[in-house]
Amino acid sequence: MTEPTHAPLHTVARGRARWHRVIVRPVLQRRARVAPAAQAIAFVIGIVLALIAGAMLLWGSGNDPVAVYERMAESSLGGFDALSRTLLRATPLAIAGLAVAVAGSMGLWNIGAEGQMMAGATVAAGFAMVAGDLPGPVLIVLMLVAGAVGGVVLVVGPALARAYLGVSEIITTLMLVEVAIRIVEWLKVGPWKDPESFGFAQISPLPDQASLPGLFGQVHIGVLFAAALLLAFWLAVSRTAWGYELRMAGSSPATARYAGISLQRKVLTALLLSGGLAGLAGAIELTGTATRLEPGLSSGYGFAGIIVAALALMRPSGVAVVAFVFGAVLRGGQSIQTLGVTSSIATILQAMILIGALVAAVLLNYRVRWVRPVGSGTDADATENPASAGASGV
């Protein structure tokens, strides 16, 4: 008789209690990779946990959770106008999330999307200042291009450092967020200060024709750009050789090298694309919702985009869904201010959805296996037990 397979080292049922020698017992075993379906379930669990925790918070602070949630749902999902307001916020979230996901699909973390959005908006606004006489459509297209360029400019340093020196992109991209925001602050009080705003420092307004056309309700055509970009990247990443190489370079650098793929060029492309997309998101936010450049323009969309991408497992389809949900949470959070509840509930809910989903995903990532006692006379190996193979999930 061959030596029976032992329980995995990492088990929940630990210890050397006597019962474990005689009773068939469950152990938790980690799956090799996260299934997208499991991630979807984890996301829903995260939302439910966040709503429960948020309800307790609201109740504890003397609010009626049901009334607050009703208002949030009605103002974000109830009807055409409400949906348009949700989509308005989902648009920058989706593009920023996509930006992070492009880098993430090869295992890179672009933590600086917030800064690249600001850089994109800044370069776009600067372009509008020098070429404010152009007709609307031309000006807007060029501003969006300028936005992408701005994002690339901010990320090119970290990308080169990562590709050729191996400097972690996590910290460098993050540091440049603060740099970008402070540059806009400097522009506001210094060179770009509106000469017509006496005493009150603000940047000169954009030309009138530099605003994205509306689509329906509150939403502008930026939402179509977001949808097109998501589709394009889904095709590129999952259906082309380029995307396959990108994913392989991330998941197995050694294999990629043997296959003749230049890792350095892949790192550069992924990070530059990521920065360009984030810059584009900034320019769309500027031309779509703002009348002038402000230091608070990106208002956390870039950081939220990281959460969106992480929840979406770096997949474009997932980014669309998560961005929509987060857009609804943001819109709902804004609407409840009329009930006297602070909009910070929205940020709390976002963070709690992420944490709940992270924990749920890890738990869903384990499966229960029934392990027979060692040396109990049966040679039925636990791994070959058909009953255990069917017992998936927790």
Residue 9 in contact with another protein, rule: CB under 8 A: yes
Largest CA distance in the chain: 91
Nearer to another protein, 175 or 290 (CB): 175
Cβ distance 162 to 270 under 8 Å? no
**In 3D, which of 305, 82, 7, 88 has the Cα closest to residue 177?**
305
User: For residue 42, what is the enclosing H or E element?
Assistant: helix 36-60
Contacts of 137 (CB under 8 A, 6+ apart): none
CA distance 325 to 332: 10
Residues 6+ apart with CB under 8 A from 182: none
Q: What part of residues 128-167 is at the interface with another protein (CB under 8 A)?
A: 157-158, 161, 165-167
Which 176-235 residues touch another protein, going by CB under 8 A? 176-179, 182-183, 185-186, 189-190
Q: Does 43 bind another protein (CB under 8 A)?
A: no
- Binding of another protein by 310 (CB under 8 A): yes
- Distance between CA 334 and CA 220 in Å, rounded? 19
Of residues 40 and 143, the one with the C-beta less far from another protein: 40
Question: Residue 352, interface with another protein (CB under 8 A)?
Answer: yes
Tell me whether residue 42 or residue 273 sits nearer to another protein (CB atom).
Answer: 42
Choosing from 117, 121, 124, 304, the residue that interacts with another protein (CB under 8 A) is 304
- Binder of another protein out of 35, 44, 290, 355 (CB under 8 A): 355
381 Ramachandran zone, left/alpha/beta (phi>0; psi -120 to 50) = beta
- CB nearer another protein, residue 338 or residue 344: 344
The answer to whether the beta carbons of residues 254 and 146 sit under 8 Å apart is: no
Q: Which residues partner with 26 through β-bridges?
A: 370
Nearest approach, Cβ of residue 57 and another protein (Å): 7
Query: Which residue, 16 or 18, has its beta carbon nearer to another protein?
Result: 16
Tokens describing residue 46: 């995260």
Stretch that binds another protein, among 121-129, 172-180, 374-382, 386-394 (CB under 8 A): 172-180
Identify which range of 119-127, 268-276, 300-308, 370-378 contacts another protein by CB under 8 A.
300-308
CB-neighbour burial class of residue 69 (10 A; exposed 0-12, middle 13-18, buried 19+): middle
| Chain residues 57-76 in contact with another protein, contact rule CB under 8 A | 57, 61
- Torsions phi, psi for 345 (to 5 deg): -55, -35
**30 touches another protein (CB under 8 A):** yes
Closest CA to 366 of 108, 26, 3: 26
Kindly indicate which of the ranges 197-205, 232-240, 256-264, 304-312 contains the residues binding another protein, using the contact rule CB under 8 A.
Answer: 304-312
Contact 347, 300 (CB under 8 A): yes
What is the pairing mode between strands 214-216 and 366-371? Answer: unpaired
Number of residues lying near another protein (CB under 8 A): 53
Contact letters (x/-) for another protein, 232-271, by CB under 8 A?
A: ----------------------------------------
Binding site for another protein (CB under 8 A): 8-10, 29-30, 57, 61, 109, 111, 157-158, 161, 165-168, 170-172, 174-179, 182-183, 185-186, 189-190, 300, 303-304, 306-307, 310, 342, 344-348, 350-352, 354-355, 358-359, 361-363
